[in-house]
Chain A
Amino acid sequence: MTDNHLSAEDSSSLENLLAEIGSGREAVLPLLQAVQEKYGYLPETALRWLAANSGLPETALWEVATFYPQFRHCPAGKYEIHVCHGTACHVKGAPRISDAIRRYLKIPDGADTDPEKIFTLREVACLGCCTLAPAMQIGDLTFGHLTPASIGTALEDFLRYEVERTNPQIEPEVSDTDAEIRISMVSCCIARGCGEVRDAAEEFLRQTGVRAKLKEVGCVGLCYQTPMLEIISADKSSHLYLRVRPEDVGELLLRHFTPPGLLRHATATLAVKLDHLLGKAPAEEKSDRENAPGQLLIALEDCGRFAPCDLREYQSGGGFEALRKALDMTHAEIIGEIGTSGLRGRGGGGYPTAKKWRQVRENSGAEKYLIMNGDEGDPGAFMDRMLMESYPFRLIEGMSIAALAVGARRGILYIRAEYPLAVRRMREALRVAENARLLGDDILGSQFSFSLEIRQGMGSFVCGEETALISSLEGRRGFPRPRPPYPAESGFRNRPTLVNNVETFAVIPWIIRHGGEKFAAVGTGSSSGTKVFALAGRVRNGGLIEVPMGISVREIIERFGGGMEEGHALKAVQIGGPSGGCLPANLCDTPVDYEALAGTGAIMGSGGLVVLDERDCLVDLARYFMAFICQQSCGRCVPCRIGTGQMLEILEKLCAGTAREKELQELEKLAGYVKDASLCGLGQTAPNTVLTTLRYFREEYEAHLRGNCPAGRCGQLARYFITDNCIGCTRCAQICPVEAIAFTPYERHVIDQEKCVRCGLCAYACQAITLEQICRD
């Protein structure tokens, strides 16, 4: 598209977009998103066309187009590879995966697309399948447990899959039986092969004629155990199978269903055949999730039981009862109930929810807004996504109750761009709820009217900060604004605005249904209720868990995480993502409580919990988070824009072993300054990981000053070395992508350290290759 004119066809489709989306300032982001959706990037001609025909100033289009990282300004390859650089994946070696892909596809430095324009490489935040770390996604396929050596196979698999692709979409079918087959279908489960399991079950039903509902349900809270198959037989008894492989499906189903008629014979033989495999197919598990000691499910209530977008099912479990109840209450009673529950915002800050609602309520003005903050930017967390994917109706109900309490008639769901499934499910649920008159005018026959719309973010972490989110909704770049005024006083369109986190809204219906006191009975005095965490890292069982407040971090690891990975010892826990900090092992008895965690220098945060062991380098972790912050700083204020850049420079030097004592002091000084002087929460919390690791693991920083990385993680401080065990098999020489190992059959091989890029491929290929510390002294 080098010429300055659009084809007639293109301009008429852009005209349609304009007509559909509008051309006010608030339309800037949606318009650009639509253009990118159409072309895969933002062609200059399309932007010029928009400027000329929408009446929007070019400056407005351009400030937005260049602010949000997800906008592309040049064409992308046919497929996008999303390599997860979330916390868990980083800890498990994501940078090497990216490097390996670059080398494999011969993507030139500074570019993101291979020369043939087939693949575009993107580094993204958590894909929500940390249990598979390191992970990547291409199209709707997810690949996990990657190693630099498995990249080639994975990409070939993908291309083969693309050729054969058939993509059956099944809607939950109504059938006249109570029998059900439930398969969890949320991003992380899909990543673990639930799709194949579903296909197998569908095939089974088709072949055998067995009558059962095949149901895709939301998160079951057992992410590390998926694919999960739950069979509800005709007698309504439930049978749960974990870690199911597609080939096991037939046998498992035959245990509970008898195929009708003719097929009986055929399947009987099948069953006989399968008998040989018995013992391989998983045994039934006790369905005891809810009875797990200490696990009270509020946000994840009914997990794994309902099809996310099936309203009837949601209502059968008590859905929208809370809203009915609330409609009979005064707003003061509703807020009072929330006050009694002691609920505090789950978006990180922990601000008392009732207090915020009351402020919005009390601020005068006919027009008030409600915003659900679904931007979930913590690169290592995915509970909000799971909530949106699994419980869209619960969120709608929670928001409706909030709107009723504060007097808002319009609400916006701001959802992160990288969550297409969440957007699809929420959109579908909105449609269903509107049809059922649970949204719109005169809800449930009352005089309460409330409507909701969805807006998508564009990959900017800072837009999770409430004032930046509002700027973004108003069609500006995502610059936070000085507070006060708080959004509760003057937010979206300068009107009183309630901003709450997804999880906050998710627990509202429960509180109204069961009463605030019951919620307050769980947890500690100042932190009541439960909290959902995304547990990842070096534990045996990662995944989403909902725990009562007040439980200790160690208990979470032991009881929910199944303990540390075999043979490794707990070193620290990173809690709260980029705004959070590191708890050393000896402080892991700290209870999960806003104040207790703050006392250690960490924060509750939004719920990322990454467990680290002796293989992990905390200086590297601090560098990782600081690099994330630098990419995500909006650039408005100097302390964060330049200060964090300066901090990153020093951390990079530390990881390269070239930092001096003076720079370590400078790092500490800057950390204090950035925390103190930054305009918004992003900058104010950005130094937390550095500050807590300096506080608890100073010796590790000092080791780096001496050019030594105790964990052996910092690539530039270590080298690969071929030991005496080399038998001259040449595998390492064949696999090395930069020919740093000469091909010398039957002789001991040697690595040319000058050429070695420390990709680690050779070490994967051969046991005789080890990582060795380079020590300056």
Chain B
Amino acid sequence: MPGLIIDGKPVDVPTGATVLEAARKLGIDIPTLCFAPGFEAGAGCMVCAVRIDGKLRPSCATVAREGMVVESETADIMSARRQAAELILRHHAGDCEAPCQTVFPTGLHIPAMLRLVAAGKFDSALELVLRETPLLSLVAEVEDAPYERACRRAQHDGAVNIGGIVKHLSARENQQGTPSAPACREKINRKALLNSPGATGLAAAYFLLREGVSCAVCGKIQELPFPGDMAREIRRLEQMGLETTVGSAPEPDVIISPPESNPAQPDNVFICREEPNLFACLRAGRKLAGEVLRYLKIDAGTFSRRRSVHLGSISPEEMAVFLKNASAEARTEFSGKTAAAEISREAKRCLHCDCRAAADCRLREVAEKLGASFSRHGDRPFAFAVRDHNPRIIYEPGKCIACGLCEKLSEKNGVTAGLCLVGRGLGIKAGMPLDDWSRLAQLAQAEEYARVCPAGALALRD
């Protein structure tokens, strides 16, 4: 039972246990990427580095010894871990979020919406949109759908008609009569008072209500300078629980006010700026809601906008890879009478730029936690590529971080012609023996491979 000291705290662990295990026993959180329980330690990614005897060492692969003195949470170790994550991201050929999603003011997961539309599941698509989009009837009326400009398909033969599809969904909803509201969390005992809100304030209210905060308006809702069915949107907010008829608002926890009205600014007063542009208002409103939630210490883990790596400009070869999974048809414009089938066809033009693993990618999560910069400068050494021979699993080599876990899984399962690490140095990546990709098709255990991969390099098809 060696005893060691981590960040000043003593701990005893069984013989053979690693420093990582010892730290976890103490409740000290050390991030890992290339380590997975049940496999030999990777000693590769170095995001688990600790300092022992003045040297940075991978804690996952260092066996604890009697009397060891380990540093884990110092600023310089954090910066080394961050540096490791940044180096990995700089070589990463993928987008966590699609370009369209990144520019959409509230981060609506557009490719997911398009997949539902393509499959004819309009109601689910609408539900998805409403979860992320306040003031939908106004959003649908914005001319030219500016987020379409970011659409990757625009570089090829015209953006996907995302604006048309959003408009269609909004119109569908309109036909249903009563507006539908997104699912909201159960109300908790927290109250926000909105002082004469405009679009920004209403957007903030939308998200606060969704997260279970009660909201009441005092004063009058401002006249908005944007086209769209405002009455319908207010009804939707009321359905979500917004109190528009100000009665007594006893002791609100926070107050959301326009800038001019609050010279004193106690710290529970949040300034709410109305912008001349609807999308700017939505963006500001979402951000404001986030600040309020944080102030109220409400855990809304999924709420803050997540960071994303971006491919940036892509080569013609990469475009060809993207186009493989999309319909070849040209963009169609819609009129009020366009049939649903045609709208689905348009949605099939989407290139699905988003990463399948975006929601549960360990690389992304660890990098965010370490405060790593996701931006890349200089050239990408690897191209975006897809190996889609297998019916269940997709392999994207550009996202492989060479952790070796898939190889270890092959070995463990006795798969003699499975995925393994190929090459050396900078070029080392998961691959197939003899470069024979056709055999990827026979690879069983798809779930296991997808689960073990710490990035989205190996992911289930859907």
Segment at the interface with A among B186-194, B212-220, B269-277, B424-432 = B424-432
Contact A649–B62 (Cβ < 8 Å): no
Task: Find out whether the CB atom of B420 lies under 8 angstroms from the CB atom of A677.
Answer: no
A58 → chain B closest CB, angstroms: 4
The answer to whether A673 touches B57, judged by C-beta atoms less than 8 angstroms apart, is no
Q: Which residues of A contact B30 (CB under 8 A)?
A: none
A482, CB-defined interface residue at 8 Å: yes
B346 at the binding interface (Cβ < 8 Å): no
Residue pair A639, B424 in contact (C-beta under 8 Å): no
**Which residue on B lies nearest to A677, using beta carbons?**
B56
Give every chain B residue within 8 A of A679 (Cβ-Cβ).
43-44, 46, 58
The interface stretch among A14-22, A283-291, A626-634 is A626-634
A639 touches B423 (CB 8 A): no
- Please count the residue pairs between chain A and chain B whose beta carbons lie under 8 angstroms apart in the complex: 121
Please indicate the chain B residues that have their CB under 8 angstroms from the CB of A48 in the complex: 434
Contacts of A649 in B (CB 8 A): 378
Chain B residues near A641 (CB, 8 Å)?
402, 425-426, 428
Query: Which residue in A47, A51, A63, A633 is a CB contact (below 8 Å) of B426?
Result: A633
> With an 8 A cutoff between CB atoms, is B381 at the interface?
yes
Whether A634 and B420, one on each chain, are in contact in the complex, defined by CB atoms closer than 8 angstroms, is no
- Other-chain residue from B45, B420, B427 in contact with A63 (beta carbon distance below 8 A): B420
Cβ contacts B418-452/A at 8 Å (1 or 0 each): 11111111111001011000000000000000000
Which residues between 534 and 589 of chain A lie within 8 Å of chain B, taking CB atoms?
none
Interface size class of A (residues with CB under 8 A): 35 or more
Q: Is A638 an interface residue (CB 8 A)?
A: yes
Partner of B425, one of A57, A62, A631: A631
Set of chain A residues within 8 Å of B422, measured between Cβ atoms: 62-63, 66
B363 to chain A, nearest CB (A): 11
> Is the Cβ of B427 less than 8 Å from the Cβ of A635?
yes
Interface residues of A in 67-96 (CB under 8 A from B): 67-69
Report yes or no: A638 in contact with B434, Cβ–Cβ below 8 A.
no
Question: Taking the nearest CB of chain B, how far is it from the CB of A51, in angstroms?
Answer: 8
A677, B44: Cβ atoms closer than 8 Å: no
Q: Are A59 and B80 in contact (CB under 8 A)?
A: no
Mask, B370-393, CB within 8 Å of A = 1, is 000000001001000000000000
A638 to B366, CA, bound (A): 15
Residue of B49, B55, B421 with most chain A CB atoms under a 10 A cut-off = B421
B87 interface neighbour in A484, A632, A646, Cβ under 8 Å: A646
Q: Is A636 an interface residue (CB 8 A)?
A: yes
| Given A641-B402, A673-B83, A677-B83: A58 and B416 interface contact (C-beta under 8 Å) | yes
Q: Does A643 contact B (CB under 8 A)?
A: yes
**Could you say which residues of chain A place their CB within 8 Å of the CB of B291?**
none
Query: Bound complex: CA of A677 vs CA of B65, how far in Å?
Result: 20
Contact B417 A59 (CB under 8 A): yes
- Given that A47-B434, A637-B43, A649-B378 are known contacts, is A59 also in contact with B423, CB under 8 Å in the complex? no
Q: How far is the CA of A677 from the CA of B52 in the complex (A)?
A: 12
Complex CA distance for A633 and B426, rounded to whole angstroms:
8
Q: How far does the alpha carbon of A679 sit from the alpha carbon of B59 in the complex, in Å?
A: 11
Whether A645 contacts B417 by the Cβ 8 Å rule is no
In the bound complex, residues from chain A placing their C-beta under 8 Å from that of B423 are 66-67, 635
Instruction: Give CA–CA (A673, B88) in the complex, Å.
Output: 14
Q: Are B420 and A638 in contact (CB under 8 A)?
A: no
A673 touches B80 (CB 8 A): yes
B411 CB–A CB distance under 8 Å: yes
> Are A645 and B80 also in contact (CB < 8 A) when A61-B433, A635-B426, A636-B44 are?
no
Q: Are B87 and A62 within 8 A (Cβ)?
A: no
Q: Are A58 and B433 in contact (CB under 8 A)?
A: yes
Residue on A nearest B85 in the bound complex, by CB: A638
A477 at the interface (CB under 8 A from B): yes
Residues of chain A lying within 8 A (CB to CB) of residue B396 = none
Residue B63 is within 8 A (CB to CB) of chain A in the complex: yes
Instruction: Name, among B381, B423, B424, B428, the residue most crowded by chain A CB atoms within 10 Å (CB to CB).
Output: B424
List A contacts of B428 (CB < 8 A).
634-635, 641
Q: Assess whether A638 is in contact with B425, with CB atoms less than 8 Å apart.
A: no
Considering only CB atoms, which chain A residue lies closest to B61 in the complex? A482
- A635 and B424 within 8 A (CB): yes
Query: What residues of chain B lie closer than 8 Å to A636, measured between beta carbons?
Result: 43-44
Residues from chain B with a CB closer than 8 A to the CB of A477 are: 421, 424
A646 to B87, CA, bound (A): 8
Chain B residues with a Cβ closer than 8 Å to the other chain, count? 44
Residues of the A chain whose Cβ atoms lie less than 8 Å from the Cβ of B420: 59, 62-63
* Cα separation A634 to B433 with both chains bound (whole Å): 19
Report the Cα distance A63→B417, complex, angstroms.
Answer: 11
- A482 and B40 CA atoms in complex are apart in Å by 12
Report the separation of the CA atoms of residues A257 and B428 in the bound assembly, to the nearest whole angstrom. Answer: 63
Measured in the bound complex, the distance between the Cα atoms of B433 and A59 in whole Å is 5
Task: Let me know if A633 and B80 touch, CB within 8 A.
Answer: no
- Cβ of A676 within 8 Å of any chain B Cβ, yes or no, is yes
Q: Is the CB of A59 within 8 A of B407?
A: yes
State how many angstroms separate the Cβ of A245 from the closest Cβ of chain B.
45
A474 within 8 A of B: no
Contact of A633 among B58, B415, B425, B433 (CB under 8 A): B425
Q: A482-B43, A638-B88 are in contact. Are A59 and B411 (CB under 8 A)?
A: yes
* Contacts of B188-226 to chain A: CB distance below 8 A: none
Output the nearest chain A residue to B51 by Cβ-Cβ distance: A676
Q: Quick one: given A59-B420, A634-B424, are A646 and B90 in contact (CB under 8 Å)?
A: yes
Pairwise interchain contact B418-A59, C-beta atoms closer than 8 A: yes
B435 CB to nearest A CB, Å? 8
Task: Give the chain A neighbours of B65 by CB distance below 8 A.
Answer: 484
In Å, the complex CA distance between A647 and B407 comes to 29
Asked if B180 is at the interface of the complex by the 8 Å CB criterion, the answer is no
What are the residues of chain B within 8 A of A481 when measuring CB–CB?
43
Q: Would you call B288 an interface residue if the criterion is a C-beta within 8 Å of the partner chain's C-beta atoms?
A: no
From the candidates A59, A68, A484, A676, name the one contacting B56 in the complex (CB within 8 A). A676
With a CB–CB cut-off of 8 A, which chain B residues contact A673? 80, 83
Most chain B Cβ neighbours within 10 Å, of A59, A63, A632? A59
Q: Does chain B have a CB within 8 A of A598? A: no
What's the nearest-Cβ distance from chain A to residue B401, in Å? Answer: 8
Q: With an 8 A cutoff between CB atoms, is A321 at the interface?
A: no
- Nearest CB of B to A479, in Å: 9
The closest CB in chain A to the CB of B429 belongs to A635
Is B44 touching A482 in the complex (CB atoms < 8 A)? no
Asked whether any CB of chain A lies closer than 8 Å to the CB of B84, the reply is: yes
Nearest residue (CB) in B for A639 is B46
Which chain B residues (47-77) contact chain A, with CB distance < 8 Å? 49, 55-58, 61-63, 65
- Scoring A residues 465 to 500 as 1 if CB is less than 8 Å from chain B, else 0, what string do you get? 000000000000100011011000000000000000
Q: Is A703 an interface residue (CB 8 A)?
A: no
Given contacts A48-B434, A636-B44, A677-B84, contact A642 B49 (CB under 8 A): no
Tell whether, in the assembled complex, residue B434 and residue A632 are in contact, meaning their CB atoms are under 8 Å apart: no
- In the complex, which residues of chain B have a beta carbon less than 8 angstroms from the beta carbon of A63? 407, 420-422
Q: 1/0 per residue B218-259: CB within 8 Å of A?
A: 000000000000000000000000000000000000000000
Chain A residues closer than 8 Å to B46, beta-carbon distance? 637-639, 677, 679
Distance in Å: Cβ of A644 to nearest Cβ of chain B? 8
Is A44 close to B, CB under 8 A?
yes
Please give, as numbers and ranges, the residues of chain B lying within 8 Å of A61 by CB-CB distance.
Answer: 433
Task: Pick from B411, B424, B426: contact of A69, CB below 8 A.
Answer: B424
Q: Specify which chain A residues have a CB less than 8 angstroms from the CB of B63 in the assembled complex.
A: 484-485
| 7 additional A-B residue pairs with CB within 8 Å, beyond A62-B433, A484-B65, A485-B63 | A66-B423, A477-B421, A477-B424, A481-B43, A482-B43, A638-B87, A641-B402
For the complex of A and B, the 8 pairs showing the least CB-CB separation, nearest first, are A635-B428, A58-B433, A57-B416, A59-B420, A62-B433, A642-B87, A482-B61, A633-B425
22 A–B contact pairs at CB < 8 A? A44-B434, A51-B417, A51-B433, A57-B411, A58-B417, A58-B434, A59-B415, A59-B417, A62-B434, A63-B407, A68-B424, A482-B41, A634-B424, A635-B426, A636-B43, A637-B44, A638-B45, A638-B88, A645-B426, A646-B90, A649-B378, A679-B58
Name B residues whose Cβ lies closer than 8 Å to a Cβ of A: 41, 43-46, 49, 55-58, 61-63, 65, 80, 83-84, 87-88, 90-91, 378, 381, 402, 407, 410-411, 415-428, 431, 433-434
